[in-house]
Chains A and B, each alone.
Chain A
Amino acid sequence: MLRGDFTQNMGRVFAIYIGGCLLCATILILLSLAGVPDRIIGIAFILLTVVFYASMGLLGRTAPVSDHYQVPALYNGMATAADWMSAASFIGLAGAIYAAGYDGLAFVLGWTGGYILVAVLLAPYLRKFGQFTVPDFLGVRYGGRLARMIGAAILVSVSFTYVVAQLYGTGIIAARFLGIDFSAGVFVGLAGILLCSLLGGLRALIWTQVAQYVVVITAYLIPVVVLSIKTTGLPLPQLMYGRALQGIAALSTDASLLPPSGLTDGVNFFGVAFCLMLGTASLPHVLSRFFATPSVREARLSVAWSLLFLFVLYSTAPAYAAFAKLEIISQAAGHNLTTTTGWIAEWSRIGLLTTGGGGSLSMADIHIDPDAIVLATPEIAGLPFVVAALVAAGVLAAAMSSADGLLLSIGKAVAHDIGSSLCTAKDRPERHGIVARTSMIIAGMLAAWFASTRPAGIVTVVGWAFSLAASGLFPALVLGIWWKRTTGPGAVAGMLAGWIICLGYILLVETGLCGSLFGVRDIAAGVFGVPVAFATTLIVSLCTRAPAPEMIDFIDSIRVPRGAVRPPKAGRTQIG
């Protein structure tokens, strides 16, 4: 049923996806009106989401994989945005702003400003280069297996860390809506993700991601728009949350409980923003999106469209945080909250909320984990349970599609880049599939185990991934295009140095073996890794033999949109 090119299929897939979602939602709303208990509705929502994804995966198997080079910029931008919106953006971001106030905005800045760097420094040139992955580029530009293998190893470490955060998010949802333990929830989430990935995954389905963007963003907007109408009468939360802020100020008896509305911790604010921006420009699963546009021109526009679509989410997060806080604070002020209040009891059970004192709880008695804010807000505000379940389904969709893409890129990197570089025998494609699938499952299990230990909140784990990506890959990618003198040994040394410094700092600070330097939190470890990587690349490049003329010719050819790419001989055998 899915033959033909992207534009022919677009309408049909869109209709199937949106229609399917609407049908599911309608059935569940009718069930809840008919008096089916909330618990069953919650379980049904989760199951339907997983079944829905699995069947989209199966459907995708029959579809041609020829979507590459046919996707118009606007749709590619939308699909990139859908890919980008993970559990971190969806549930971590508003929670971080809720907890930290102004300093939480560093995440908003970091995750959007990075797209400028992608558009200006990388996307058009990677598109001109036209191969499929970041290690492919590193291998050709730096002439050898070593650069490609190290690039792939860094990619695996970044994707792995990012998957941990996604599984953490699915664990919270499974725990809350299936009524199970958090650790068990993480593994249930992994099982769902692996089921979908192995059944076919979403790799060919760029158009399902277009539809997914619509569904996920709707799930995010519904509760906050409803709250905005309730408080201010207008459905424009992004502009109207001033009313909520004033309400919070009026109700709060102790100003010290309110997070600051101005910059307090400049080092970490700018450190986090810097790492997230450079990390955004080095995240392999995002960059590979821009290899798939029809032209260099479309690649630039496609990055711009992605940012516009993400703008909807990121400009709403501060409003989400404000309205959530107003709800909680006004209920606490009205002495309506006790340890037996539904949502307080439920989130305490999962361990994302602790209460001090008994009887009527005040704002100071309720310690709610930032990662619970987005999911708990619909319940707290007393919206119908179906809204809470819808938000959960949105998070699940976001986390599943991100984790799916990341696990696939891990599998591909291990089989395609590391595996074939290690064994000198001829490529055996049938073994690639097995190696890829095995490494996906192993990486998934390890990530689930790590997530179940609750290493840190979602945004922190994601911050590590971005710091690692920025330190390991950003200098090699950018200098490879913008500085012809960069040599293979220089890039390899730079990648290793940046990555080791960054990973080392995170591990030392997390294990408590070393205090933080200059007060920099480990989430901003790239503040050390990136300069070290740049300096190492520069120095080693200048000390080694300048790139050959045919390499210079190759760089010239990817800098200019017109004409063919002229890969150097050494690199030619590396592609593929």
Chain B
Amino acid sequence: MARGTPDTSPHYWRKTSQLMMTVLVLWFFISFGIPLASNFLNGFVLLGIPLGYFLTAFGTLVGFVILIFWYAHRQNRVDEDLHVAED
């Protein structure tokens, strides 16, 4: 049986699940929090665009891109730290 299983695998899965929850909470906040606040944010204007509109149309996307690269980086590091990454 390959190194990293089965003794480290519960530990690995706990770490992975924690990271999953963190990412999903941030995902939820970006996708639903910003639109909910949009009518309030529209009171401000950025570059001629109502702020709530701009943050939904552009800010959320930037947030998603950063989040997804951050996740890939973190999870790949968890794999290496716990010696379960592929050879």
Q: A262-B53, A315-B57, A315-B58 are in contact. Are A560 and B9 (CB under 8 A)?
A: yes
Complex: A112 Cα to B61 Cα, angstroms: 7
Residue of A nearest to B41 (CB): A262
Q: A245-B48, A261-B50, A262-B52 are in contact. Are A314 and B61 (CB under 8 A)?
A: yes
**B85 engages A561 (CB within 8 Å):** yes
**A262 engages B38 (CB within 8 Å):** yes
Q: Give chain A residues whose Cβ lies under 8 Å from the Cβ of B24.
A: 116, 120
**A308 engages B65 (CB within 8 Å):** yes
**Residues of A in contact with B, size category:** 35 or more
* Residue A534 interfacial (CB < 8 Å): no
- How far, in Å, is B77 (CB) from chain A's closest CB? 10
Complex: A296 Cα to B12 Cα, angstroms: 15
Q: Give chain A residues whose Cβ lies under 8 Å from the Cβ of B71.
A: 116, 119-120, 300, 304
Q: Which of A304, A556, A563 contacts B72 (CB 8 A)?
A: A304
**B47 engages A105 (CB within 8 Å):** no
Complex: A266 Cα to B61 Cα, angstroms: 20
Q: Give chain A residues whose Cβ lies under 8 Å from the Cβ of B9.
A: 556, 559-560
Q: Give chain A residues whose Cβ lies under 8 Å from the Cβ of B47.
A: 239-240, 242
**A108 engages B57 (CB within 8 Å):** yes
* Residue A113 interfacial (CB < 8 Å): yes
Q: Give chain A residues whose Cβ lies under 8 Å from the Cβ of B81.
A: none
**B39 engages A263 (CB within 8 Å):** yes
- How far, in Å, is B9 (CB) from chain A's closest CB? 5
Chain A contact residues, majority secondary structure = helix
**Interface 0/1 of B31-53, CB less than 8 Å to A:** 11001101100100111111011
**B31 engages A277 (CB within 8 Å):** yes
Complex: A119 Cα to B71 Cα, angstroms: 8
B-contacting residues, A374-430, CB 8 Å? none
**A561 engages B23 (CB within 8 Å):** no
Q: Which of B3, B6, B76, B86 contacts A556 (CB 8 A)?
A: B6
**B50 engages A116 (CB within 8 Å):** no
Residue of B nearest to A110 (CB): B31
**B86 engages A108 (CB within 8 Å):** no
Q: Which of B3, B64, B69, B76 contacts A113 (CB 8 A)?
A: B64
**A241 engages B87 (CB within 8 Å):** no
Q: Give chain A residues whose Cβ lies under 8 Å from the Cβ of B16.
A: 559
**Interface 0/1 of A101-116, CB less than 8 Å to B:** 0100100110011011
**Interface 0/1 of B19-31, CB less than 8 Å to A:** 1100110010011
**B48 engages A303 (CB within 8 Å):** no
Residue of B nearest to A322 (CB): B49
Q: A117-B27, A262-B52 are in contact. Are A124 and B5 (CB under 8 A)?
A: no
Q: Give chain B residues whose Cβ lies under 8 Å from the Cβ of A270.
A: 32, 35
Q: Give chain B residues whose Cβ lies under 8 Å from the Cβ of A238.
A: 58
**A261 engages B53 (CB within 8 Å):** yes
Q: Give chain A residues whose Cβ lies under 8 Å from the Cβ of B5.
A: 556-557, 560, 562-563
Q: Which of A269, A307, A315 contacts B68 (CB 8 A)?
A: A307
- How far, in Å, is B86 (CB) from chain A's closest CB? 5
Complex: A242 Cα to B45 Cα, angstroms: 9
Q: Give chain A residues whose Cβ lies under 8 Å from the Cβ of B2.
A: 562-564
B-contacting residues, A114-135, CB 8 Å? 115-117, 119-121, 124
Q: Give chain B residues whose Cβ lies under 8 Å from the Cβ of A262.
A: 38-39, 42, 50, 52-53
- How far, in Å, is A266 (CB) from chain B's closest CB? 8
Q: Which of A116, A261, A564 contacts B23 (CB 8 A)?
A: A116
**A300 engages B72 (CB within 8 Å):** yes
Besides A301-B72, A307-B68, 16 new A-B residue pairs in contact (Cβ under 8 A), listed by A number: A102-B38, A105-B53, A112-B61, A115-B68, A116-B23, A116-B67, A119-B68, A240-B47, A242-B45, A242-B54, A262-B53, A307-B64, A311-B61, A562-B79, A562-B83, A564-B2
* 4 A-B pairs closest in CB distance: A242-B48, A563-B2, A300-B72, A242-B49
Give the interface of B toward A (CB within 8 A).
1-6, 9, 12-13, 16, 19-20, 23-24, 27, 30-32, 35-36, 38-39, 42, 45-50, 52-54, 56-58, 60-62, 64-65, 67-69, 71-72, 75-76, 79, 83-87
Pull 28 A–B residue pairs with CB atoms less than 8 Å apart, ordered by A.
A102-B52, A102-B56, A105-B35, A105-B57, A109-B31, A112-B61, A119-B72, A121-B20, A241-B49, A242-B45, A242-B47, A261-B42, A262-B38, A262-B50, A263-B35, A263-B38, A295-B86, A304-B72, A311-B64, A311-B65, A556-B9, A559-B13, A560-B5, A560-B13, A561-B79, A561-B86, A562-B86, A562-B87
